[in-house]
Amino acid sequence: MASEGHDKLKLKLLIDKRFPKVLLAEAGKEVVDFLFSLMALPLGSLIELINNESMVGSLGCTFASIKQLDAGYFLSTERKTSLIQSQIYSGSTSSSSSLSNPAEPATFNCFHCRRFYPNRTTTFYGFPCKFCSPATYSEQTRMGYARGSIMYSVMDDLSVQPMSPTSTIALLNKLGLKDFSLLEERIVFMTADEALELVKASLSSKNVLTDVFLAKKERATFKSENHF
């Protein structure tokens, strides 16, 4: 159906059929905003999701991507800074009780209103507050973190970089993959359940896209055929 993926996040997966494994996903602003927003989740929420398992997954790769990406790929320098600061703020919490009972989120003076309305606040540093002019900050162009009109490569470990043919070719060369018939492109639409599964996988796996979007049955069939 034409409208089936309207409210879902679209990704174009590049799959290595030899294993099978997702090499990367071509994604737009909406997907990148979703991944970057994981950095702003309260630490207590993450702990609840993983049920006290060790966080040895891919979130560190996403955080490293945020730090490495040029500020020009964000809607503003402040939005990039807000993601980095939220991680520093969460990481500075030492009390075990505060992990299970996170404090109320910090608020910041609205960057755009502070001159004339110093009491207006926003939850995220650099974000417009609810009183900001809709004409100036349209919902489509000003919400989130990543700049639109740019496509991004999301790797299996959830690291993010601007998409370019050069980087894709470099990845294929690194893997020694010269036979393009071994590659498959597959468009998927991430549902709410898959988004939650992705969050959970990001805390324990370095192969998040493979774990979420390649069905276990599909991988099991491959292993059986290849006697793994």
161, HSE (Cβ side, Cα atoms, 13 Å): 15
Question: Helix, strand or coil for residue 132?
Answer: coil
Secondary structure element (H or E) that encloses residue 21, with its range: strand 21-27
Q: What is the DSSP letter of 119?
A: T
> Which residue(s) pair with 24 in the sheet?
14, 155
- Nearest-Å Rg of the Cα atoms of the chain is 20
DSSP string, 156-169: TT--EEE--HHHHH
The pLDDT value recorded for residue 208 is: 96
pLDDT confidence of residue 178: 86
**Tokens 């060369």, residue?**
173
Residue 57 and residue 204: Cα distance in Å, rounded? 4
Q: Is 94 left (phi over 0), alpha (psi -120 to 50) or beta?
A: alpha
The pairing of beta strand 152-155 with beta strand 108-109: unpaired
Q: What are the mean pLDDT values of the chain's consecutive 10-residue runs (228 residues total)? A: 58 94 95 89 60 65 92 90 66 36 50 69 58 50 80 96 90 87 95 90 93 76 56
pLDDT for res 83: 86
Q: How far is CA 217 from CA 198, 212, 213, in A?
A: 18, 12, 11
* 152 vs 159: CA distance, rounded Å: 10
Angstrom CA distances, 82 to 89, 144, 176, stand at 10, 11, 39
pLDDT at 167: 87
